[in-house]
DNA sequence: TCTTTATGGTGAG
DNA sequence: TCACCCTAAAGAT
């Protein structure tokens, strides 16, 4: 289940496995038969990610994939399983294969159409150097609670429901703060922390935002599930930093978690 | 064997 | 704001 770090990790793995190879493609489920046929036998030039979007480039044709909430795109190099009947797309280079299921988007587009997708997105901290200015500008235009605005992919690309709560905690910002009332320091912290956390998540392959000193642990591997994050899904439990009881609020049609002791404003 | 849940997003009203 | 889409695994019965 993907936020930006998961998608970038997928793109890297798929690029390493499949770029430069002639791929076989099929759609066991049948809903992407025409697209799969168009890719079948073609050489993959590259796979890359922007925010939560994946792009597989075959000459001028681009396979655009968005996993949504439930999509998966695991790859295998041995013990390759049979695709399930729900598998939308299988790509294979003969020795490795990847099985796409449950995507929100899976379509073949032109390079221009792919560029239009990324143009509509805000800066991706994993990709956009100097994106802080665009991020700050977009925040300044919004009166909505910052917790809602952080989920808007046209403001910043790649943040999801875990990171929005954790990043606001790490910056000590109350989730209901109107985005256009954030200080320059707040904005700087949000952008920097988003980048730091996404890069860490990309490296670890999971979202662990905790600073080890706050839970008295030496290694991230030692952490229990409950200790990996400060607030996400921790309502009713004491804050790892100040002991206040973590709270949950619906912000932007989804649950956000926050600490009333550490996040004031 | 059910029901629920999930780190997402769209389109209608 | 709501209904709705997609799938798989975990939890409840």
pLDDT digits (tens, 9 = 90+) for A38-82: 999 999 999 999 999 999 999 999 999 999 999 999 999 999 999
Would you place residue A123 in the very low, low, confident or very high pLDDT band (cuts 50, 70, 90)?
very high
Question: Where does A43-104 show beta strands of DSSP type E?
Answer: 46-50, 53-58, 61-66, 75-76, 87-92, 97-101
Would you name the residues of A annotated as active-site residues?
Answer: 2-3, 52, 254
CA of A183 to C1' of C5 (A): 39
Q: CB–CB of A45/A76 below 8 Å? A: no
- Mean pLDDT value of segment A83-96: 96
The SS3 of residue A20 is coil
Residue A174 approaches strand B within 7 Å at CB: no
Would you place residue A30 in the very low, low, confident or very high pLDDT band (cuts 50, 70, 90)?
very high
pLDDT at A163: 97
List the structure tokens of A95. Answer: 């020795």
pLDDT at A3: 96
Other C-beta atoms within 10 Å of A12: how many?
A: 14
- Judged against a pLDDT cut of 90, whether residue A36 lies above it is answered with yes
pLDDT at A224: 83
Would you place residue A203 in the very low, low, confident or very high pLDDT band (cuts 50, 70, 90)?
very high
How many whole angstroms separate alpha carbon A61 and alpha carbon A48?
Answer: 14
How many whole angstroms separate alpha carbon A8 and alpha carbon A248?
Answer: 29
List bases in chain B with any atom under 7 Å of a protein Cβ. Answer: 6-9
Residue A158 approaches strand B within 7 Å at CB: no
Residue A1 approaches strand B within 7 Å at CB: yes
pLDDT digits (tens, 9 = 90+) for A228-263: 999 999 999 999 999 999 999 999 889 999 999 999
**Among candidate residues A104, A13, A34, the one with its CA nearest the CA of residue A64:** A104
């Amino acid at each position: 289940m993907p936020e930006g770090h998961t998608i970038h990790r997928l793109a890297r793995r798929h690029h390493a496995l499949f770029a430069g190879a002639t791929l076989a493609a099929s759609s066991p489920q049948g809903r992407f038969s025409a697209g799969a046929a168009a890719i079948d036998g073609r050489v993959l030039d590259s796979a890359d990610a922007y925010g939560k979007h994946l792009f597989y480039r075959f000459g001028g044709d681009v396979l655009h994939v968005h996993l949504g909430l439930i999509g998966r795109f695991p790859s295998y190099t041995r013990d390759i399983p049979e695709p399930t009947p729900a598998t939308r797309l299988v790509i294979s280079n003969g020795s490795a294969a990847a099985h796409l299921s449950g995507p929100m988007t899976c379509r073949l587009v032109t390079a221009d159409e792919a560029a239009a997708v990324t143009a509509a997105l805000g800066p991706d901290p994993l990709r956009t150097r100097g994106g802080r200015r665009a991020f700050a500008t977009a925040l300044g235009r919004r009166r909505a609670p910052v917790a809602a605005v952080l989920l808007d992919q046209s403001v910043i690309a790649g943040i999801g429901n875990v990171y929005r709560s954790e990043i606001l905690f790490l910056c000590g910002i109350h989730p209901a703060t109107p985005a256009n009332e954030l200080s320059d320091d707040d904005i700087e912290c949000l952008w920097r922390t988003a980048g730091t956390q996404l890069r860490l998540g990309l490296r670890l392959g999971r979202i662990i935002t905790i600073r080890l000193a706050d839970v008295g642990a030496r290694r991230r591997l030692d952490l229990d599930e409950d200790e990996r994050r400060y607030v996400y899904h921790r309502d009713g439990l004491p804050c790892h930093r100040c002991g206040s009881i973590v709270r949950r609020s619906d912000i932007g049609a989804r649950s956000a978690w926050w600490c009333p002791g550490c996040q004031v404003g």
